[in-house]
Amino acid sequence: MLFWTTLKVALRSLLANKLRSILSMLGIIIGVGAVIAMLAVGAGAQKQVLDHVTALGSNLIMVMPGQPRSGGVRGGSYQTLTVEDAQAILAEVPEVEKASPVARGNGQFKYYNKNKESSIMGVTLTYLGIRNFSIEQGRNFTVSEVEQRVKVAVLGADTAEELFGEDDPIGEQIKIAGVTFKVVGVLKAKGTQGPFSFDDQALVPYTTAMDRILGTDYLSEIDLEIAEDSDQEAVQAAIEDVLRKRHAIRAGQDDDFHVRNMAEMVETATSVTRTFSLLLGSVAAISLVVGGIGIMNIMLVTVTERTREIGIRKAIGAKDRDILVQFLLESILMSALGGVVGVGAGVSVAQVSSLVSGFTAVVEPVSVALALSFAVCVGVFFGFYPARRAAALDPIEALSYE
Amino acid sequence: MTAEHTPAALPEADFVIRAQELVKTFRLGETIVRALDGVSFAVGRGEKVAITGPSGSGKSTLMNILGCLGPPDEGEYVLAGEPVSKLSGNRLAEIRNKYIGFVFQTFNLLPRLSAVENVELPLLYGGVADAPQRAQEALETVGLGDRMRHEPSQLSGGQRQRVAIARAIVTDPAILLADEPTGNLDQSTGQEIMALFDDLHAQGRTVIMVTHDQEVAGRCERQIHILDGRIANGAEDARGD
Ligand SMILES: Nc1ncnc2c1ncn2[C@@H]1O[C@H](COP(=O)(O)OP(=O)(O)OP(=O)(O)O)[C@@H](O)[C@H]1O
Ligand SMILES: [Mg+2]
User: Residue A356 corresponds to which amino acid?
Assistant: V
Task: Count CB neighbours of A125 within 10 A.
Answer: 17
Burial classification of residue A280, based on how many CB atoms lie within 10 Å of its CB (0-12 exposed, 13-18 middle, 19 or more buried): middle
Whether residue B99 is contained in a domain is answered as yes
| The pLDDT of residue B115 | 94
Give the domain-ending residue among A229, A245, A277.
A229
- Element housing A286 (H / E): helix A262-305
- Number of structural domains chain A divides into: 2
Of B104, B111, B122, Cβ closest to residue A317: B122
Q: What is the dihedral of CA B88, B92, B94, B99, to 10 degrees?
A: 160
Q: What is the mean pLDDT of chain B?
A: 89
Phi, psi dihedrals of residue A119, rounded to the nearest 5°: -80, 140
* Mean pLDDT value across residues B184-205: 92
d(CA B63, CA A32): 51
* Mean pLDDT value across residues B27-31: 90
| The pLDDT of residue A230 | 83
User: Which CATH number is B111's domain given?
Assistant: 3.40.50.300
Q: Is B233 in the pocket of ligand 1 (CB under 6 A)?
A: no
Structural domain range at position B81: 17-238
Instruction: Name, in order, each residue with C-beta under 8 angstroms of B87's C-beta and a sequence gap of 6 or more.
Output: B68, B71, B95
Q: Do A108 and A198 belong to one domain?
A: yes
Residues A295 and A22: beta-carbon distance below 8 Å: no
Task: Look at residue B238 and tell me whether its pLDDT is greater than 50.
Answer: no
DSSP letter for each residue of A91-124: HH-TTEEEEEEEEEEEEEEEETTEEEEEEEEEE-
| The pLDDT of residue B9 | 60
Whether residue B97 is contained in a domain is answered as yes
Max CA pair span of chain A: 100
Q: Whose Cα sits closest to atom 26 in ligand 1?
A: B55
Do A2 and B127 count as a contact with CB atoms less than 8 A apart? yes
Whether residue A245 is contained in a domain is answered as no
Residue A225 β-bridge partners: A60, A98
| The pLDDT of residue A70 | 47
Q: Do A217 and A281 belong to one domain?
A: no
Q: Do A275 and A391 belong to one domain?
A: yes
ipTM attached to this prediction: 0.91
* B102 and chain A in contact, CB less than 8 A: yes
d(CA A25, CA A313): 27
| The pLDDT of residue B240 | 38
Which residues in B149-239 belong to E strands, given as ranges?
Answer: 175-179, 206-210, 222-227, 230-231
Q: Do A116 and A174 belong to one domain?
A: yes
d(CA A301, CA A330): 13
Give the domain-ending residue among A229, A249, A280.
A229
List Cα–Cα distances, A94 to A62, A86, A90, A151, A241, in angstroms: 16, 13, 7, 32, 13
Q: Do A386 and A299 belong to one domain?
A: yes
Structural domain range at position A103: 98-229
Do A318 and B125 count as a contact with CB atoms less than 8 A apart? yes
Whether residue B24 is contained in a domain is answered as yes
Phi-psi bin for B108: left (phi > 0), alpha (psi -120 to 50), beta? Answer: left
CA-based nearest distance B216→chain A, Å = 25
Whether residue A247 is contained in a domain is answered as no
Instruction: Name, in order, each residue with C-beta under 8 angstroms of A377's C-beta and a sequence gap of 6 or more.
Output: none
The string of pLDDT tens digits covering residues A19-35 is 999 999 998 998 899 88
| The pLDDT of residue B13 | 65
Max CA pair span of chain B: 54
Q: Do A312 and A378 belong to one domain?
A: yes
Whether residue B11 is contained in a domain is answered as no
Q: Are strands B74-79 and B15-28 parallel, antiparallel or unpaired?
A: antiparallel
Phi, psi dihedrals of residue A121, rounded to the nearest 5°: -115, 110
| The pLDDT of residue A332 | 94
CA-wise closest residue to B136 among B148, B126, B125, B127:
B148
Residues A103 and A220: beta-carbon distance below 8 Å: yes
Whether residue A8 is contained in a domain is answered as yes
Find, in chain B, the residue whose alpha carbon is nearest to that of A396: B69
| The pLDDT of residue A342 | 93
The ligand that comes nearest to the alpha carbon of residue B27 is 1
Q: Do A310 and A377 belong to one domain?
A: yes
d(CA A183, CA A173): 6
- Number of structural domains chain B divides into: 1
Whether residue A376 is contained in a domain is answered as yes
* B235 and chain A in contact, CB less than 8 A: no
List Cα–Cα distances, B232 to B4, B47, B220, B224, B226, in angstroms: 10, 20, 17, 8, 5
Whether residue B204 is contained in a domain is answered as yes
The string of pLDDT tens digits covering residues B71-88 is 999 999 999 989 998 887
Q: Do A283 and A222 belong to one domain?
A: no
Residues A62 and A221: beta-carbon distance below 8 Å: yes
* Mean pLDDT value across residues B218-234: 89
B60 CA → ligand 2 middle, Å: 4
The string of pLDDT tens digits covering residues B36-62 is 999 999 999 999 999 999 999 999 999
Whether residue B62 is contained in a domain is answered as yes
Q: Which residues of B touch A1 (CB under 8 A)?
A: 124, 131
Percentage helix, strand, coil, to 5, in chain A? 55, 15, 25
* Mean pLDDT value across residues B167-171: 95
Whether residue A382 is contained in a domain is answered as yes
Task: Count CB neighbours of A212 within 10 A.
Answer: 18
Q: Do A321 and A371 belong to one domain?
A: yes
CA-wise closest residue to A60 among A202, A272, A264, A269:
A264
Phi, psi dihedrals of residue A124, rounded to the nearest 5°: -105, 180
The ligand that comes nearest to the alpha carbon of residue A397 is 1
Whether residue B157 is contained in a domain is answered as yes
Whether residue A254 is contained in a domain is answered as no
Phi, psi dihedrals of residue B227, rounded to the nearest 5°: -135, 120
The alpha carbon of residue B232 and the mean position of all alpha carbons in its chain are separated, in whole angstroms, by 20
Q: Please identify every stretch of chain A with a pLDDT value under 70, giving residue numbers as ranges.
A: 1, 69-77, 193-196, 358
CA-based nearest distance A13→chain B, Å = 8
Whether residue B6 is contained in a domain is answered as no
